[in-house]
Structure 1
Amino acid sequence: MELDRLDRDIIAALVDDARATYADIGQQVGLSASAVKRRVDRLRETGAITGFSARVAPQALGWTTEAYVELFCQGKTKPSDIALAVARYPEVVGAATITGEADALLHIRATDVRHVERVIERIAAETFVVRTKSSIVLSRLVEAPPGAAVPEARNGSPVPS
């Protein structure tokens, strides 16, 4: 799917405020409300926009502590096996396979450090886990939702999707 500058500006406006009206977004990007609606409908149909949601501060839900945990797995553990296992833990809010020595990186949110420790202990007990290495987040320096920054090629034109 190819996104032009207007599509990217509309997406950035929606990321900033998903409740903005088409008229408000149109004023920001220089289009009529109906033109914005047509573009948003097309962006939804093509899968560029996958949905709308509220961003909630994790602290408001009691998740005041976060950590990143590297998983080191036995042999040729399949990523799908890792995903299936860690998806059972509500504290795991993100997981990815990575390059380097570790096989996967988990993002954990918990109520406190003891809670993080209990989650890591349970994950480390999974049959395929050889060891873990964890880091507790002290403070967030940058946190931008996907779509807030619109990537561009070096020549100033949008990066093709």
Structure 2
Amino acid sequence: MRKSRCWRPCAYDSTVELDDLDWKLLDLLQRDGRMTFTELAKRVSLSAPATTERVRRLEQAGVITGYRAVVSPQRLGLPIEAIVRVRVRSLDTPRFRERVVTLPQVLDADHVTGDDCWLLRVVCRSMVELEDFVEQAQRYGDTTTSLVFSSAARGRPVTREVFEGPGR
């Protein structure tokens, strides 16, 4: 089996080597985290105990960091989704993290480079709630808000092709 190594400097101290079976398991679990070990074993042509051991090894190595249910905010009465970009004043960053990033409307919060410091994905029940949220964020800097019409790609699995890079 072919093993993969990081093809450029990695952000972590150590790189976990993965073989073809590891990548197959990761692909299957990212697409369906509820798949049983028996079903996984069938799909990768291993015994259930061997499959269980490989998955546990991937968990212990920090490659698999968790499992979760994917929930529809719209079906729960949260029809407004927005991207809020915030240029936080540097001295206000700790308070921004504490008071805005922790708000329940925030689904994702990325500290980024560029003109904006933060990229927040938020969901709200109404435009009034979104306006209140943006006003809270504006206490710490300038904001730009974009409503999400639709999402063409979200939650895609990390694949071997992404890991190895184009043309490898």
Displacement of 1:146: 4.4
Contact 2:81 2:121 in 1 (8 A): yes
Structure-1 separation of matches of 2:70 and 2:24: 20
**Distance 1:20-1:117 versus aligned 2 partners, 3 A rule:** same
Structure-1 separation of matches of 2:167 and 2:74: 41
User: Gaps spanning 5+ residues in structure 2: where?
Assistant: 1-15
Give 2:114's match in structure 1, choosing from 100, 104, 119: 100
Structure-1 separation of matches of 2:68 and 2:77: 20
Give 1:140's match in structure 2, choosing from 143, 148, 151: 151
Q: Per chain length, whose mean CA-contact separation is higher, i.e. which structure has more relative contact order (CA < 8 Å, sep 6+)? A: 1
Contact 1:72 1:101 in 2 (8 A): yes
| 1:48 and 2:63 matched | yes
How many residue pairs get aligned? The number is 151
Give per-residue Cα distances to partners, 1:77-98, cap 9 Å, x unaligned. 4755432232331001111121
**Distance 1:146-1:121 versus aligned 2 partners, 3 A rule:** farther
User: Gaps spanning 5+ residues in structure 1: where?
Assistant: 157-161
Displacement of 1:142: 1.5
Q: TM-score, normalised by structure 2?
A: 0.79
> Taking every aligned residue pair, what percent have the same amino acid on both sides?
30
The alignment's C-alpha RMSD in Å is: 2.0
Q: TM-score, normalised by structure 1?
A: 0.82
